[in-house]
Amino acid sequence: MTSAQGWQSFDLLLTCMVVADRAGRIEWVNIATQHLFERSRRSFQEFSLESLFEDKENFQKAFETIVNQRAMSVTFVGVIAKLDDAVLVSASLHMDNDRVIMELHPIDQQTLSERSIRLAREIEIYQETFRNLAHEVKNPLGGIRGAAQLLDMELDNPAQREYTQLIAAEVDRLQQLVDRLIRPAQAGLQRTMFNIHEVCERVYTLMRAEYQDKLSIIRDYDASLPEICADREKIVQIYLNICRNAAQALLGAPEIKSPTITLKTRIKSRQFLLDKVYRQVLVISVIDNGPGIPNHIVDRVFHPLVTGRPEGTGLGLSLAQELARQHKGVIEFDSYPGRTEFRILLPLEEV
């Protein structure tokens, strides 16, 4: 399709369709889009695709990915810029010759909430299963370690004692894994008032010390954010787990020439989390320019023991999601080649 006449068939669709040039200037919209924005087709000629969204920066990154043909299609989730209402949409972009075609699908906040609740229930089932298993495993592990220590005391041959020491070391490693499966449910929250950027700076310092010059870390903070009442150490653990996941994904992809992580803080208004609407929600993001989450695990990234890395345990994101839920929050993500963003959403009223 290269002309407005060729796009007339889009008017038959209930899906909102927008056509723009490679610079992002809107050339044509269908009737469904006019109804969504409550604007005439002619008025859209004054707009760019970017101007339709509140989060212009992240939309622009998705748009550039399509225009530069780094992906066949990109889906961006954001709020459209309407004067009287906030509507969350899923925007899918792809190229058609020299035109960018965008489809808009409004997302009901209730649908997002139901998805979050369903994920929470799935994780609870997995966690309960693993906790029961962990309790059954702990006693035999203690017996194996004790036997290895006794045998080590009886052996005189250093070569043979290496084997008993190896047994003890592996038992300790398994014990740590078991403890990580059990610990989230056992520990309560120790709430204090603090500025979230104290956490961000602590994680930034830890990441710089751990990875040094292997990757770049950019800080993009909203300095106006109010203090929150939360468990500082658990928020640090959530953020650090996600940052380390991003770093490991970047360093495990040699094709990424300038691995970069962005630490970002913002406020969202009128957000639906789990089963409640909150007036304001704190959003703490970790954004990387890595290869994206593998398709075969994208629907299960928060499930325990699911990982895209051979050396991974699959516990970091599962633990982070559970700790966020203890704060009545949730972790969401968007991922495609060249950009992955994990967002920790914490309700300010009850955090």
CA 186 to chain centre: 25
Q: CATH assignment of 191-347, given 3.40.50.880, 3.30.1490.100, 3.50.30.40, 3.30.565.10?
A: 3.30.565.10
Contact between 307 and 211 (Cβ < 8 Å): no
Mean pLDDT by 10 residues, the chain (351 residues): 65 87 91 87 86 84 84 78 69 88 77 62 65 71 84 83 84 74 63 93 91 91 90 90 91 89 86 69 92 77 61 67 85 84 83 43
pLDDT of residue 219: 94
pLDDT of residue 351: 43
pLDDT, tens digit (0-9, with 9 covering 90-100), for 167-177: 888 888 777 76
Superfamily in which the 4-107 domain is placed by CATH: PAS domain (3.30.450.20)
Contact between 20 and 49 (Cβ < 8 Å): yes
Q: Report d(CA 104, CA 345) in Å as an integer.
A: 24
pLDDT of residue 270: 64
pLDDT of residue 57: 81
Which distant-in-sequence residues (6+ apart) come within 8 Å of 208 by Cβ? 217
- pTM for the whole structure: 0.58
Classify residue 148 as left (phi > 0), alpha (psi -120 to 50) or beta.
Answer: alpha
Amino acid 134 reads: A
DSSP state of 48: B
DSSP state of 30: -
Residue with tokens 């929250």: 189
Phi and psi dihedrals of 307, rounded to 5?
-150, 150
Q: Report d(CA 23, CA 57) in Å as an integer.
A: 15
Q: Report strand pairing: 216-220 vs 260-273.
A: parallel
Q: Report d(CA 76, CA 294) in Å as an integer.
A: 18
DSSP state of 155: -
Tokens read off for 126: 């997995």
Phi and psi dihedrals of 316, rounded to 5?
-60, -50
Tokens read off for 47: 């707009």
